[in-house]
């Protein structure tokens, strides 16, 4: 997108503008870069390098660090590809080989910034990787988010003589700071902030001063306060092993981080702000693989514990703890609307079935990304629940803002403590599932379903109902462990399953969202086409797909009605020689209908409200082992990122 090109006629110019707009729209799909900055007495290159590895889960295609060298000059080292040499084939680019020699870091610096970039404006390349250094060489920035008016700013800067060396939106920040610099670094950053539109967080270092400035508006930024050091980062992971003290910046706040662990926080207008220091709610063990081949597998196996964490302290104090999480819930609820994206949306769909069937309150679940463009009709006594693992998903955040502005009752069911959605919602429940690092969401889904059940118990004034759910929740961790008895079988059949080119995941009622979620898992980590469908809809079209390349994955559990109806759909497939894999709690009966080349996975029986928790786990394992067999990058699947922080 080079605005300086000359177009011979109006038509060409029109096409160029269209292309720019299209490119922008494509760019706006996702942005989940990670940023980190270090100021302290240790070698910040090492701290930032290790911190970047912890930010990898956010997704990236290039990486870079910037630092002040011994002479106080700014240096930047960038690479496409991976951070660590061990993650790439020999000869492929990586940051490590540029900054280490014979296993030791080549550079030593106490003021360092770093960045993992997931390309939006401009292809993944070294020149588009961050940090971006101002033309004068005095300032270097790393940026997460999108500067929406960058094109106008870039034109203005080009007119002033600034030369750009990347296609990114971010580079304008470095040049603007340089342009505004008049002897006062902080003032130059503040003036720059008044020019920027969009959602962003960025860090900047300068040749002229020995401090780091961080600014936040829309994208996350938190600050680890060590004894003699400060680490500023997109989340706590890069510093959790160095300090548990954290402050979370709010939008329109900036931090100036000095040596010796000192800092000032100010509003963008320059007013001092006192920040509360909080504790990071997890340990370093929570973010290591603990012997598992992938984070995803570790996280799947954590579910007996994470599910328990979601309810254990709450069920005996429903009327205090859970009710306090949802204070002033309207008496006459009009509707319960669950908002989310991806896996979180499917958890919301489970919620919809529970709320309508058991609380008898009208309910729906909404793709946040669609909802925000629909000008939805919202009433004051609508209860809107935003579901999010990361708490940073831009569409969900935007949907939450809309319903809040329209006066609905809002709450969040969120995993990441202190995240933007959690703060915006102001009330609701945390999942306490610990950090979910694999890009494919697993343990968050099962914990969300627990939280949804707890919330619904507030709407159902029936002690027997509540007690039956609580009793069954307490049995769940052991039942989940029973599901793992199938793991060897699933691993063994994975090579055969991996031969199919297409999957139809079929379920009815509360198992329909499970079908959607199972298919999402297969798509995103195994890269095999998989579609989730309501099994009742199957004969209205998809049944035409049945052939040797299609495997139909049925989820057949639940009440007798649903069970029988789904079984009928399975028989329709079988009578057309279709191949099936069945998740069921009724293995003996099911065997009667299946052939030798079909697959069957036994799950323990549970109540319908919790059955999605039990049923999704074999499907998580199935996609994991198929993806592993195919040699996929399971924790960081192509084109995907953990937090989707731009609409």
Where do contacts with ligand M6R occur on this chain (CB under 6 A)?
Answer: 341-344, 388-390, 393, 396, 439-441, 520, 524, 640, 644
Tell me the HSE value of 209 on the side-chain side, using a 13 A CA sphere.
19
Q: Tokens for 324? A: 């306090």
CB of 535 to ligand M6R, least distance (A): 22
User: Which residue lies nearest ligand M6R, judged by its C-beta?
Assistant: 342
Contacts of residue 14, Cβ cutoff 8 Å, sequence gap at least 6: none
- Between residues 386 and 473, which has the closer beta carbon with respect to ligand M6R? 386
Q: How many CB atoms lie within 10 A of CB 6?
A: 6
Pair 381, 409: CB distance under 8 Å: yes
CB of 507 to ligand M6R, least distance (A): 18
- Between residues 205 and 525, which has the closer beta carbon with respect to ligand M6R? 525
- Helix ranges (DSSP H) in 28-149: 44-55, 96-99
- Between residues 53 and 439, which has the closer beta carbon with respect to ligand M6R? 439
Q: Tokens for 614? A: 């039990």
- Between residues 261 and 507, which has the closer beta carbon with respect to ligand M6R? 507
- Between residues 39 and 514, which has the closer beta carbon with respect to ligand M6R? 514
Of 136, 120, 222, 214, nearest in space to 170 by CA: 120
Pair 76, 267: CB distance under 8 Å: no
- Between residues 79 and 620, which has the closer beta carbon with respect to ligand M6R? 620
Contacts of residue 607, Cβ cutoff 8 Å, sequence gap at least 6: 468, 469, 472
CB of 406 to ligand M6R, least distance (A): 21
CB of 408 to ligand M6R, least distance (A): 19
CB of 441 to ligand M6R, least distance (A): 4
Contacts of residue 184, Cβ cutoff 8 Å, sequence gap at least 6: none
Query: Peptide bond preceding 131: is omega within 30 degrees of 0, i.e. cis?
Result: yes
* Ramachandran sector of residue 403 (left: φ over 0; alpha: ψ -120 to 50; beta: rest): alpha
- Between residues 96 and 524, which has the closer beta carbon with respect to ligand M6R? 524
- Between residues 333 and 520, which has the closer beta carbon with respect to ligand M6R? 520
Annotated catalytic residue, options 68, 78, 244, 642: 642
Can you tell me the distance from the alpha carbon of 68 to that of 133, in angstroms, rounded to the nearest whole number? 12
Q: Exposed (0-12), middle (13-18) or buried (19+): which is 281, by Cβ within 10 Å?
A: middle
Of 450, 388, 449, 451, nearest in space to 420 by CA: 388
End-to-end CA distance of the chain: 21
CB of 341 to ligand M6R, least distance (A): 4
Number of helices followed by number of strands (H, E) in the chain: 20, 26
Can you tell me the distance from the alpha carbon of 329 to that of 322, in angstroms, rounded to the nearest whole number? 11
State the DSSP string of 169-232.
STHHHHHHHHHH-SS-HHHHHHHHHTT--EEEEEEEEESS-S-EEEEEEBS--EEEE-SS-EEE
CB of 327 to ligand M6R, least distance (A): 24
Q: How many CB atoms lie within 10 A of CB 221?
A: 27
- Catalytic residue flag (residue 642): yes
CB of 368 to ligand M6R, least distance (A): 8
Annotated catalytic residue, options 10, 19, 33, 98: 33
Active site residues: 33, 642
């Amino acid at each position: 997108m080079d605005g300086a090109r000359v177009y011979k006629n109006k038509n060409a110019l029109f096409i160029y503008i269209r292309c720019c707009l299209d490119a922008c729209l494509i760019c706006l799909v996702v942005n989940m870069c990670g940023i980190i900055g270090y100021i302290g007495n240790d070698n910040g290159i090492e701290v930032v390098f290790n911190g970047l590895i912890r930010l990898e889960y956010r997704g990236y295609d290039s990486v870079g660090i910037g630092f002040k060298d011994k002479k106080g000059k700014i240096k930047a080292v960038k690479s496409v590809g991976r951070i660590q040499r061990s993650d790439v084939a020999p000869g492929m680019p990586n940051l490590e080989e540029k900054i280490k020699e014979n296993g030791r870091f080549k550079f030593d610096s106490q003021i360092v910034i770093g960045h993992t970039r997931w390309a939006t404006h401009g292809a993944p390349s070294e020149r588009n990787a961050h940090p971006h250094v101002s033309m004068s060489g005095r300032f270097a920035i790393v940026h997460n988010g999108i500067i929406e008016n960058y094109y106008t700013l870039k034109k203005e800067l080009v007119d002033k003589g600034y030369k750009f060396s990347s296609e990114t939106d971010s580079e304008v920040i470095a040049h603007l700071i340089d342009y505004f610099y008049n002897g006062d670094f902080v003032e130059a950053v503040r003036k720059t902030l008044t020019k920027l539109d969009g959602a962003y967080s960025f860090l900047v270092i300068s040749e002229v001063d020995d401090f780091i400035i961080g600014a936040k508006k829309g994208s996350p930024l938190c600050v680890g306060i060590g004894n003699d050091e400060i680490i500023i980062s997109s989340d706590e992971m890069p510093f959790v092993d160095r300090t548990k003290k954290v402050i979370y910046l709010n939008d329109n706040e900036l931090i100036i981080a000095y040596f010796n662990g000192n800092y000032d926080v100010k509003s963008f207008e320059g007013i001092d702000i006192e920040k509360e220091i909080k504790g990071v709610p997890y340990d370093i063990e929570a973010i290591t693989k603990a012997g598992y081949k992938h984070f995803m597998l570790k996280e799947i196996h954590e579910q007996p514990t994470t599910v328990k964490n979601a309810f254990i302290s709450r069920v005996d104090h429903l009327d205090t703890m859970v009710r306090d999480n949802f204070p002033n819930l309207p008496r006459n609820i009009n509707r319960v609307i669950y908002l989310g994206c991806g896996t979180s949306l499917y958890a919301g769909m489970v919620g919809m079935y529970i709320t309508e069937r058991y609380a008898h309150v009208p309910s729906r679940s909404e793709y946040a990304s669609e909802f925000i463009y629909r000008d939805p009709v919202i009433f004051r006594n609508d209860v809107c629940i935003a579901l999010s693992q990361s708490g940073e998903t831009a569409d969900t955040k935007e949907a939450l803002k809309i319903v809040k502005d329209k006066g609905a009752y809002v709450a969040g069911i969120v995993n990441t403590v202190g995240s933007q959605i959690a703060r915006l919602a102001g009330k609701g429940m945390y999942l306490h599932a610990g950090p979910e690092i694999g890009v494919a969401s697993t343990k968050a889904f099962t914990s969300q379903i627990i939280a949804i059940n707890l919330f619904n118990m507030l709407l159902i004034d029936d002690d027997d109902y509540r007690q039956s759910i609580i009793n069954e929740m307490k049995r769940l961790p052991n039942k989940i462990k029973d599901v793992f008895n199938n793991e060897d079988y699933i691993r063994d059949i994975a090579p055969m399953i991996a031969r199919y080119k297409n999957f139809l995941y079929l379920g009815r009622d509360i198992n329909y969202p499970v079908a959607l979620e199972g298919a999402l898992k297969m798509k995103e980590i195994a890269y095999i086409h998989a579609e989730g469908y309501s099994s009742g809809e199957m004969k209205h079209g998809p049944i035409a797909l049945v052939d040797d390349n299609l495997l139909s994955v049925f989820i057949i559990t639940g009440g007798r009605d649903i069970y029988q109806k789904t079984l009928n759909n399975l028989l329709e497939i079988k009578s057309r020689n279709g191949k099936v894999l069945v998740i069921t709690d009724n293995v003996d009966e099911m065997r009667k209908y299946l052939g030798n080349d079909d697959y069957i996975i036994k799950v323990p029986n549970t109540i319908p409200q919790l059955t999605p928790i039990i049923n999704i786990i074999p499907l998580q394992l199935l996609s994991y082992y198929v993806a592993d067999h195919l040699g996929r990058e399971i924790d960081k699947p192509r084109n995907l990122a953990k937090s989707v922080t731009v609409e």
